[in-house]
Amino acid sequence: MQQYIIGNWKMNGTKAESQKLAAGFLKRIQEATRPLPHIVLCPSYPYLTSVFEILKGSPIEVGAQDGHPEKSGSFTGDVSISQLVDVGCKYVIVGHSERRNFHQESSALIRKKIESAIKAGLRPILCIGETEKDRETGKTLEVIGHQVTSDLPSSFMPHDLIIAYEPLWAIGTGKLPKQEEVEEVLGFIKHELSTHIAGGALVPMLYGGSVNAANAPSFLNLPHVDGLLVGGVSLKLDEFWEIVNASTR
């Protein structure tokens, strides 16, 4: 399976900076001499259209960082999944820990978003992960198992979505899980998914949390890792491109 390198720009940048970054990645891809992974960039809502206009027709896809499950209505400040499709998005991040923490998103809401995205032809990237306390108390697999069963709809096809394992304590902290810990969790998710749907082990699995150019190869070489979700470093053109070039398939 071709790997995925996904950049979550979070609430960063101006329109000019977002356009410059997108144009920079487009130039890199045009000059690339090796097979590339799937590349997805997720800018802030206001810049989705201008980033999409730059990347349109190139292999780089655009994703959003969240989406409301209802098609339209009185949801001030929200952006619907169908509006995201309308402006060219192919992916949407769902259940990021920052949404769960700062917006109290529940598993029921996350599941609705996933259902709505799949129905609209947008591929959700579901983020799951344990807290530092969960890990210290040996509850990692229990927490991850619970997230898998409560966040996911009862039926979907393996290619409908992507799962990103992001230990909360590794996001933006510089702390990293050991390679064997990542493999253990991803292997466990694959096993859980195969009991959940036919072909569940084929759902692409990403790692995310403090990835940079120096540590990316150690994750991209792991058998269960189908790609990376990159936050902070995805705003750095050269370093993110080094991560793209570290992809192994």
In whole angstroms, how close is the CB of 20 to ligand PEP at the nearest point? Answer: 20
In whole angstroms, how close is the CB of 249 to ligand PEP at the nearest point? Answer: 21
In whole angstroms, how close is the CB of 154 to ligand PEP at the nearest point? Answer: 26
In whole angstroms, how close is the CB of 212 to ligand PEP at the nearest point? Answer: 8
In whole angstroms, how close is the CB of 176 to ligand PEP at the nearest point? Answer: 10
Point out which residues pair with 123 in neighbouring strands: 91
Q: How many CB atoms lie within 10 A of CB 162?
A: 25
Q: Which position among 3, 4, 5, 8 is part of the footprint of ligand PEP (CB under 6 A)?
A: 8
- If phi over 0 gives left and psi between -120 and 50 gives alpha, with beta otherwise, what is residue 36? beta
One-character DSSP codes across 74-88: S-TT--BHHHHHHTT
Q: Which position among 42, 51, 125, 211 is part of the footprint of ligand PEP (CB under 6 A)?
A: 211
Residue type, 29: I
Which residue number, 167 or 200, has a Cβ lying nearer to ligand PEP? 167
Query: Within 13 A of 116's CA, how many CA atoms are on the CB side?
Result: 23
Q: Is 208 in the site for ligand PEP (CB under 6 A)?
A: yes
Compute the distance between CA of residue 163 and CA of residue 203 in angstroms, rounded to an integer.
7
Catalytic-labelled residue, pool 96, 105, 130, 224: 96
Phi then psi dihedrals of residue 144, to 5 deg = -65, -45
Compute the distance between CA of residue 181 and CA of residue 48 in angstroms, rounded to an integer.
35
Q: How many CB atoms lie within 10 A of CB 98?
A: 19
Which residue number, 54 or 168, has a Cβ lying nearer to ligand PEP? 168
Residue type, 240: F
Q: Which position among 144, 161, 232, 246 is part of the footprint of ligand PEP (CB under 6 A)?
A: 232
Which residue number, 151 or 166, has a Cβ lying nearer to ligand PEP? 166
Which residue number, 124 or 231, has a Cβ lying nearer to ligand PEP? 231
Q: Is 166 a catalytic residue?
A: yes
Compute the distance between CA of residue 9 and CA of residue 42 in angstroms, rounded to an integer.
6
| Residue closest to ligand PEP, measured at CB | 231
Which residue number, 114 or 229, has a Cβ lying nearer to ligand PEP? 229
Q: Is 41 in the site for ligand PEP (CB under 6 A)?
A: no
Residue type, 158: P
Q: Are 8 and 65 in contact (CB under 8 A)?
A: yes
Compute the distance between CA of residue 52 and CA of residue 19 in angstroms, rounded to an integer.
9
Identify residues 121-180 at the interface with ligand PEP (CB under 6 A).
166, 171-172
Q: Is 70 a catalytic residue?
A: no
Phi then psi dihedrals of residue 154, to 5 deg = -70, -25
In whole angstroms, how close is the CB of 123 to ligand PEP at the nearest point? Answer: 16
Which residue number, 200 or 231, has a Cβ lying nearer to ligand PEP? 231
Residues that bind ligand PEP (CB under 6 A): 8, 166, 171-172, 208-211, 229-232
